[in-house]
C-alpha cells in the first residue's frame, strides 16, 4: 500500500531476528520511546525462541502524538502494524479496532495479572489488550518525621489531613518555616482528573461517569471529598499547589519541605537518588480511604499491548504479545528498567524486590487502582476530562459554592456525554 512509508516516516524501525528458517514470518510492533531498548531486548529473545522476525517501531516521545498515527492506520484498515502499545485511556477510543484476544490467551495467564489491570481492558465483553506495566497514584511520606512524632501512615484522608497539619506546625515551630503538610497536583490539567478521581472513588462516589454512561458526580460524597481538598489550600498545601503538576509537587517534597506527597511510582527512584535529601527517609503506601469499607482507589496508569484487528498475522501477533506481557519479560523490565509489573507473582520475587523495594509496600495500591471513565466515554474522553478538571479547579480555588459548582458540572458532563453519542 502506498501509504506505508508515509505512515511510518520519521519513526525508527529495527528488524531483529535470529537465524531464520525458510518459512519465518515477520510481525510489526509499536513500542514507546522510553522503553524502546527494553523492547529490543525482549523481541530478540522471542525471535530466538520462535525463529520469527519483529519489525519494531518507535513511538513519538510524546505519546499523545501517536494518536493521529493510529487513527490513520485504523482508518485505512492497514495491516502495517500487528501489535500496538496502548495507553489505558486509549482503550475506549480504539476499542473498535482492537482484536478480542480472549481465545488466544490462556485463562491462567490472564489471571496471573492484577485483576484491576485486566478488567480495565475488558470492553463490551471482549479482552482487547493485556497489561504491559502498571502505574497508579501512591502516597509518599516522610517516614522519619512520622516516626519522630509517633505517627502511623494514615489510613484515611481525614487522618492524613490531621497528621499533615500536626507535623507541619511542629516542624515550623522547630525552625523550618517552609514546611508544608501535603504536596499534590492541583493544576487545571489531566493530572487533576487523576487526583480528584482518587478522592471521590475512595469515598464510594464512583468514577465520574459510570460504565453505562451515567454521570455520577453530583452527590454528597463528592461534595464532601472536594470540600476537604478545598480546605487543604493554604492550610497544609501552599496556594501555589493550584498550579502544580507532578514535577512541581515532587520538587517541593524532594526539597524536604513536605510531609506527604501524592504522585506516580517514579518518585521512589528520584527521591532515593544518590545525594538527595530524602535518601532513606521516604515511605510508600496506597492512597488513603475516603470512607470505611472503600478501596484506596489510586488512578490506574497502565500501559497495554493489543493486536490490531487488521493484522494479517493475528495468531503470531498474539504469541508475541503473550511473551511481552509474560513473567519472563516483565521480570526483565522490572530489574533493568524499574517498570512496575502487572504479574502478581513478581511482587514476591527477590530479584525484583531488590531492584524496586517499594513494590511490597505498594502492592495493595496496584490491586485496588481505579480506571478513569475512558472506556465508557471512548473518543469523547478528553472532552469529558477537560470539563471535569476545569470545574474541579474552580471548586478547590474557592470560586463558588461547592454544591452549586457540582450541579453545574453535572449538567455540563451530561451535555458532553450526549454530544459524544
Question: What is the per-residue pLDDT for 208?
Answer: 96
Query: ∠ CA(198), CA(298), CA(279), 5° rounding?
Result: 120
Question: What is the per-residue pLDDT for 389?
Answer: 97
User: Closest Cα to residue 145, out of 310, 309, 291, 280?
Assistant: 280
Block residue for cell numbers 528498567: 337
How far apart CA 296 and CA 300 sit, in angstroms, is: 12
Question: What is the per-residue pLDDT for 56?
Answer: 97
Question: What is the per-residue pLDDT for 420?
Answer: 73
* List of the chain residues with pLDDT < 50: 1-22
User: Closest Cα to residue 352, out of 373, 328, 384?
Assistant: 328
Query: ∠ CA(34), CA(310), CA(77), 5° rounding?
Result: 95
Question: What is the per-residue pLDDT for 19?
Answer: 45
Block residue for cell numbers 458540572: 409
380 vs 91, 206, 402, 416, CA distance in Å? 12, 19, 25, 8
Q: Are strands 130-133 and 126-127 parallel, antiparallel or unpaired?
A: unpaired
Question: What is the per-residue pLDDT for 327?
Answer: 98
pTM over 0.85: yes
Q: Is 299 exposed, middle or buried (0-12, 13-18, 19+ CB in 10 A)?
A: buried
Amino acid at each position: 500500500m502506498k501509504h506505508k512509508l508515509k505512515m511510518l516516516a520519521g519513526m525508527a524501525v529495527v528488524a531483529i531476528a535470529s537465524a531464520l528458517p525458510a518459512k519465518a514470518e515477520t510481525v510489526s510492533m509499536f513500542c514507546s520511546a522510553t522503553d524502546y531498548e527494553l523492547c529490543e531486548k525482549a523481541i530478540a529473545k522471542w525471535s530466538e525462541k520462535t525463529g520469527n522476525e519483529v519489525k519494531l517501531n518507535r513511538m513519538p516521545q510524546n505519546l499523545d502524538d501517536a494518536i493521529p498515527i493510529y487513527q490513520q492506520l485504523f482508518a485505512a484498515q492497514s495491516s502495517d502494524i500487528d501489535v500496538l502499545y496502548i495507553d489505558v485511556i486509549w482503550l475506549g477510543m480504539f476499542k473498535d479496532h482492537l482484536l478480542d484476544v480472549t481465545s488466544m490467551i490462556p485463562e491462567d495467564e490472564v489471571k496471573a495479572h492484577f485483576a484491576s489491570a485486566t478488567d480495565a481492558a475488558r470492553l463490551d465483553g471482549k479482552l482487547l489488550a493485556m497489561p504491559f506495566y502498571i502505574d497508579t497514584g501512591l502516597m509518599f511520606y516522610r517516614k522519619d518525621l512520622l516516626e519522630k512524632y509517633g505517627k502511623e501512615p494514615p489510613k484515611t484522608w481525614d487522618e492524613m489531613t490531621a497528621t499533615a497539619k500536626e507535623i507541619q506546625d511542629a516542624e515550623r515551630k522547630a525552625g523550618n518555616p517552609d514546611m508544608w503538610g501535603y504536596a499534590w497536583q492541583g493544576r487545571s490539567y489531566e493530572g487533576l482528573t487523576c487526583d480528584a478521581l482518587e478522592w471521590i472513588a475512595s469515598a464510594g462516589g464512583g468514577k465520574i461517569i459510570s460504565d453505562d454512561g451515567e454521570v455520577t458526580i453530583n452527590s454528597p460524597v463528592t461534595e464532601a471529598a472536594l470540600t476537604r481538598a478545598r480546605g487543604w489550600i493554604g492550610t497544609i498545601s501552599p496556594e501555589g499547589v493550584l498550579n502544580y503538576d507532578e514535577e512541581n509537587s515532587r520538587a517541593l517534597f524532594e526539597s524536604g519541605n513536605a510531609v506527604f506527597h501524592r504522585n506516580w511510582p517514579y518518585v521512589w527512584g528520584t527521591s532515593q537518588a544518590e545525594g538527595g535529601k530524602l535518601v532513606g527517609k521516604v515511605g510508600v503506601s496506597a492512597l488513603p480511604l475516603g470512607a470505611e469499607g472503600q478501596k484506596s482507589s489510586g488512578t490506574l496508569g497502565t500501559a497495554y499491548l493489543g493486536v490490531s484487528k487488521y493484522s494479517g498475522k493475528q495468531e503470531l501477533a498474539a504469541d508475541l504479545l503473550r511473551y511481552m506481557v509474560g513473567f519472563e519479560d516483565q521480570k526483565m523490565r522490572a530489574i533493568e528498567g524499574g517498570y512496575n509489573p502487572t504479574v502478581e507473582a513478581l511482587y514476591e520475587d527477590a530479584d525484583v524486590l531488590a531492584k524496586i523495594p517499594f513494590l511490597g509496600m505498594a502492592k495493595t495500591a496496584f490491586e485496588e487502582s481505579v480506571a478513569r471513565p475512558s472506556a465508557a466515554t471512548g473518543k469523547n474522553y478528553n472532552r469529558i476530562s477537560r470539563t471535569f478538571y476545569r470545574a474541579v479547579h474552580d471548586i478547590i480555588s474557592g470560586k463558588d459554592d461547592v454544591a452549586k459548582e457540582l450541579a453545574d458540572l453535572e449538567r455540563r458532563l451530561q451535555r458532553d456525554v450526549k454530544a459524544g453519542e
